[in-house]
Structure 1
Amino acid sequence: MEERTLTPVPAEPQATPATPADAAAPEQDRWADLAPGALTQDPQALLAAWMAGRAMPRRTLVRRLIGGIALTALLAEFIGSLRVILDQEPVFPLAFVWPVVFYLLFMAVLKDFPLLFLLRRALRRLQDGTLYPDRLHLVTSDGEEDLPLTDLIMVQRFKGWTVLIWGSWKHPQIVPIPDDACFGKAPFLYARLQELVTDIPFFCSDKPPRRRRHLVAGLLVLYVFLFTEVALATSVMGILSYTLDNPNSNASVDLVWKEKEHTFSSRDAGEFPYPSTGEFQAQWVGDDCCAVTYRATDGSLRVQLLESAPGAAERLPDDPPEGAWTTFFHYDDPVTLRWDADLPGYRLQSPSGELRFRQWEDFDGMGLALCDDDGLPIWTLTARSFPWQDGAGNDITVQGLLLSPVSLSPSTTDALLLCPADSPLFAGEDQAENPAAPRFEDTIDVCVNEDGVFFTWDGGVGCSQVLDAQDCARCGITSEADLGPLVLRWDVASFLTVEDGQVWSYTSFDQGQSWQTDQLLMLGSDTLTDWCYGFAGTGQGYAALNGTDANGAPWVKVFQTLDHGASWERFPTPKAADGVVRPLNGLCFYNAGIAVATAPGDDGSPWPYVFATTDDGSTWVEPDVPFAASGQTGANRLTDLYFSDTGQWLVTFTQAPEGTRELVFETSDLTHAPWTLSALHDIS
Structure 2
Amino acid sequence: DAFPYTAEADMKLQWLADDACAVTYQSPDDGQVHQYVMTYGDRGNGITTYYVYNVVQGGWSAEGKNTAGWELTTGPEGITVVSPSDGEQVYEADDCVQFGTLAIALCENGLPQWTLVLLDDCAVGDVSDVVESGTIALCKVTMEKSAPIYFTRTAMPDGADMESAETPSKEENGKELRDRMKQTLREDPALSRYESDAYGGIRVVTDEEDIFWIARCGLEERYKLLAVNGVDVDCQILHMELLAGDRYDCAVRVKEKVTYGSDPGGETSASEMETTFRIMKGEGAYLLAWAGFDTDPAVGLDAPAMAMERDTAGNEDYHFFVPGEEAY
TM range (shorter): 0.3 to 0.5
Question: Relative contact order (alpha carbons < 8 A, sep ≥ 6): 1 or 2 greater?
Answer: 2
Task: Identify, as 1 or 2, the structure richer in helix.
Answer: 1
TM-score by length of 2: 0.38
TM-score by length of 1: 0.19
Task: Identify, as 1 or 2, the structure richer in strand.
Answer: 2
